[in-house]
Amino acid sequence: MDTRLLTTFLAVLRTGGMTAAAAELGFVQSTVTAHVQALERLAGTPLLDRRPGRVSPTRAGSLLAEHARGVLDLQERMLAEVTAAATEPSGPVRLRAPESVCAYWLAPLMPRMRARLPDVSLSLFPADTRTALTALADRRADLSLVLAPSPDPSGVDLVDLGPQPLSLVAAASTPLPGDRPLTPAELAATGVLLLEEGCSYSDEIAALVAAADPTANPPRFGGIETAKRCAAAGLGVALLPTVTVADELAAGALAELVPPAGLSRHHLWLAEPSSRWRSPAVHAVRTALIDSISRPDEAAAPGSPPRP
């Protein structure tokens, strides 16, 4: 069997349609249709329920998808082991991580990573917790870093990389008190600036505000920099990773407030599929990520990223 048929079939299930799968894979739609039809001929049964605007797997299709993931994993392992027998770790590694981690921690780490693993091509994709974990399940990521209190996703192994401080910030001229925890009602009255749904700490503070004022409808922003600048302009308060606002707090451009009592303590977690084989390149990147924060002398070196 041509394993490209399995790759195409999984893409159809993941995207929900032939057209979307073709766009993701860089094929014309007729190629995707031909691949699925070839699989159905081999299986001797329909694999998809075709409905206007969307397709879904039949019972046989769901079973095939489960085995397809295992076959593709075995293929990846076979090719990587053959290559690794005579070479250093090499090949692509896809890493999903929060925007703050990509910009403030991983970006400074990349030069050392490249020097340590010159033949590994590491790609970074900003993603909130929900998106990062989904990408692992859909085979669109090899590793993910997630910022959450204590995630418990199924089929995922986690390594705790340590606490990640968060800061509640507002414009330097804010009239809000900075010497006591603010109440959810005060946050609702002032207005909170949230990141996209799926960001665990934004979703948590949004739930507190909603409980205090069900009519509140805080705005959502697609990035930390936008939320930070809007807070500095006096449009509301924002809960953001401390590393992303440290310079503005030191310069007096933002004021730090005390968040409501009971907010969870967030940690940075390294997540990987528990059942998927780990290529030498993925294993090397995983080890480098853990080493980068487990060695105080390296983390404290000039130009090093801050310890999470």
- Residue 83 is predicted with a pLDDT of 66
In the beta sheet, which residues pair with residue 163? 267
- Residue 302 is predicted with a pLDDT of 34
- Residue 293 is predicted with a pLDDT of 63
* Residue spans per domain, the chain: 3-83, 89-307
- Residue 301 is predicted with a pLDDT of 38
- Residue 269 is predicted with a pLDDT of 92
Second CATH level (architecture) for the domain 3-83: Orthogonal Bundle (1.10)
**Where do the H-state alpha helices sit in 153-301?**
184-190, 200-212, 224-232, 242-251, 280-294, 296-299
In SS3 terms, 34-76 reads as HHHHHHHHHHCCCCEEEECCEEEECHHHHHHHHHHHHHHHHHH
Q: pLDDT tens digits, residue range 156-196?
A: 999 999 888 999 999 999 999 999 999 999 999 999 999 98
SS3 276: coil
- Taking 70 as the pLDDT cut, the residues of the chain under it are 83-87, 293-308
- CA 234 to chain centroid, in Å, comes to 29
- Residue 191 is predicted with a pLDDT of 93
- Residue 74 is predicted with a pLDDT of 84
- Residue 86 is predicted with a pLDDT of 55
User: According to the CATH classification, is domain 89-307 in 3.40.190.290?
Assistant: yes
In the beta sheet, which residues pair with residue 271? 144, 158
